[in-house]
Structure 1
Amino acid sequence: MSDSAFSDEDQKNQLGRSAVIRLAGEGFQGVLPEMSPAEVELSSSLRKSVEKLATEIGERNLRRYGSLKGAADWIEGSLKDCGYEIERQSYEVDGQVCDNLIFERVGSTLSKEIVIVTAHYDSVFRCPGANDNGSGTAALVDLAKRFAKCEPKRTLRLLFCVNEEPPMFQTDSMGSVVYARRCKERRENIEAVLSLETIGYYSDEEGSQQYPFPLGAVFPRTGNFIGFVGNIESGPLVHRVLSSFRKHAQFPSEATSLPGDMEGVGWSDQWAFWKFGYPGVMVTDTAPFRYPHYHKATDTPDKLDYDRMARVVTGLEKVITELINPSGG
Structure 2
Amino acid sequence: PQNREAGGYIAAELQKNGFEVTIEKWLGAQPQSMDAEEDLAAFSLASSHLFYSTDGGASFSEYLPAGGVKTWQNSACAVFPPSTVHFAGGDSYHRTRDGGTSWAVTTFDLSSESNYLSAMAFADEGTGYLFSASGGVWRTEDGGDTWTEAGGTGTEFFNALCPPGDPRRVIGVGRYETVFMSKDGGETWEKVHETSGGSTLFDAAFGDAERGLAVGAANRLLFTTDGGETWTRSQIPGTDTTQQLFAVAAAGPLEYVVGSLYGEVFRTTDGGGAWQKLSTGRASTVNALAGDETRRRLWLVGKDGPAYGGWDLSGLTWRLEGLDQQSLILWRNVIGEKRGEEYPESYVYGTAHFDSISGRAEGDDPYLLAPGANDNGSGTTALLEISRVLADCTPRRTLVLAFFNAEELGLQGSYFHTRQLAYDGAAVDGAVNLDMVVWSDPPDEQEDLDIVTDYLSGWLADVLLEACSRYGDGMPGLKLLEPDFYRSDHAPFWLVGYRAVLGIEDKDVPYPYYHTAEDDYPTIKDHLPLTEQVTRAALGALAGLAGIHDDDLHNLAGVYAYPSPYRGDRHSGVTFNGLVPGATLRVFDIAGNLVYETHSSGFELEWDVRNTAGRELAAGVYLYHITTPQGDAVTAKLAVIR
Q: Specify which of 410, 427, 447 is matched with residue 169 of structure 1.
A: 410
Using the alignment, how far apart are the partners of 2:446 and 2:513 within structure 1? 14
Q: Specify which of 460, 467, 474 is matched with residue 244 of structure 1.
A: 467
User: Which amino acid letter does the alignment assign opposite residue 493 of structure 2?
Assistant: F
CA positional deviation for 1:223: 6.7
Match of 1:291 in 2: 511
Match of 1:151 in 2: 394
Structure number with greater Rg is: 2
Equivalent position SS for 1:267:
coil
Using the alignment, how far apart are the partners of 2:508 and 2:492 within structure 1? 20
CA positional deviation for 1:290: 2.7
Question: What does the per-residue CA deviation read over 1:222-255, in whole Å, with 9 as the maximum and x for residues that have no partner?
Answer: 7711221111221111112211321222223233
Q: Does 1:122 align with 2:355?
A: yes
CA positional deviation for 1:318: 1.5
Equivalent position SS for 1:116:
strand
Q: Specify which of 277, 290, 294 is matched with residue 497 of structure 2.
A: 277
Using the alignment, how far apart are the partners of 2:459 and 2:394 within structure 1? 25
Match of 1:90 in 2: 25
Equivalent position SS for 1:241:
helix
Q: Are the aligned partners of 1:225 and 1:252 in contact in 2 as well (CA < 8 Å)? A: yes
Q: Are the aligned partners of 2:26 and 2:331 in contact in 1 as well (CA < 8 Å)? A: yes
1:125-140 matches, cutoff 5 A: 125=358, 126=366, 127-140=370-383
TM-score (norm 2): 0.36
1:262-273 matches, cutoff 5 A: 265-273=485-493
CA positional deviation for 1:202: 1.0
Using the alignment, how far apart are the partners of 1:175 and 1:223 within structure 2? 32
Match of 2:4 in 1: 69
Match of 1:14 in 2: none
User: Which amino acid letter does the alignment assign opposite residue 11 of structure 2?
Assistant: E
Match of 1:231 in 2: 454
Match of 1:183 in 2: 421
CA positional deviation for 1:78: 2.4
Equivalent position SS for 2:421:
helix
User: Which amino acid letter does the alignment assign opposite residue 461 of structure 2?
Assistant: V
User: Which amino acid letter does the alignment assign opposite residue 414 of structure 2?
Assistant: S
Using the alignment, how far apart are the partners of 1:118 and 1:320 within structure 2? 11
Using the alignment, how far apart are the partners of 1:248 and 1:223 within structure 2? 15
Q: Specify which of 292, 304, 318 is matched with residue 540 of structure 2.
A: 318
CA positional deviation for 1:287: 5.6
Question: What does the per-residue CA deviation read over 1:179-211, in whole Å, with 9 as the maximum and x for residues that have no partner?
Answer: 0011101111111101110001112589xxxxx
Q: Given the superposition, is the C-alpha separation of residues 205 and 151 from structure 1 closer, same or farther in structure 2, using an over 3 Å criterion?
A: closer
Q: Given the superposition, is the C-alpha separation of residues 320 and 205 from structure 1 closer, same or farther in structure 2, using an over 3 Å criterion?
A: closer
Match of 1:198 in 2: 436
Using the alignment, how far apart are the partners of 2:509 and 2:439 within structure 1? 11
Using the alignment, how far apart are the partners of 1:245 and 1:224 within structure 2? 12
Q: Does 1:103 align with 2:325?
A: no
Equivalent position SS for 1:289:
coil
CA positional deviation for 1:75: 1.0
Question: Unaligned stretches of 5+ in structure 1?
Answer: 1-65, 207-221
Q: Are the aligned partners of 1:228 and 1:281 in contact in 2 as well (CA < 8 Å)? A: yes
Match of 1:47 in 2: none
Question: What does the per-residue CA deviation read over 1:241-274, in whole Å, with 9 as the maximum and x for residues that have no partner?
Answer: 211321222223233242422xxx3211000100
Using the alignment, how far apart are the partners of 1:249 and 1:205 within structure 2? 17
The structure with the greater share of residues assigned to helix is 1
Equivalent position SS for 2:466:
helix
Using the alignment, how far apart are the partners of 1:82 and 1:259 within structure 2? 35
CA positional deviation for 1:144: 1.2
Question: Unaligned stretches of 5+ in structure 2?
Answer: 30-48, 50-328, 359-365, 548-577, 580-601, 604-642
Q: Are the aligned partners of 2:447 and 2:530 in contact in 1 as well (CA < 8 Å)? A: no
Equivalent position SS for 2:375:
helix
TM-score (norm 1): 0.69
Question: What does the per-residue CA deviation read over 1:116-142, in whole Å, with 9 as the maximum and x for residues that have no partner?
Answer: 001000001433211000111111111
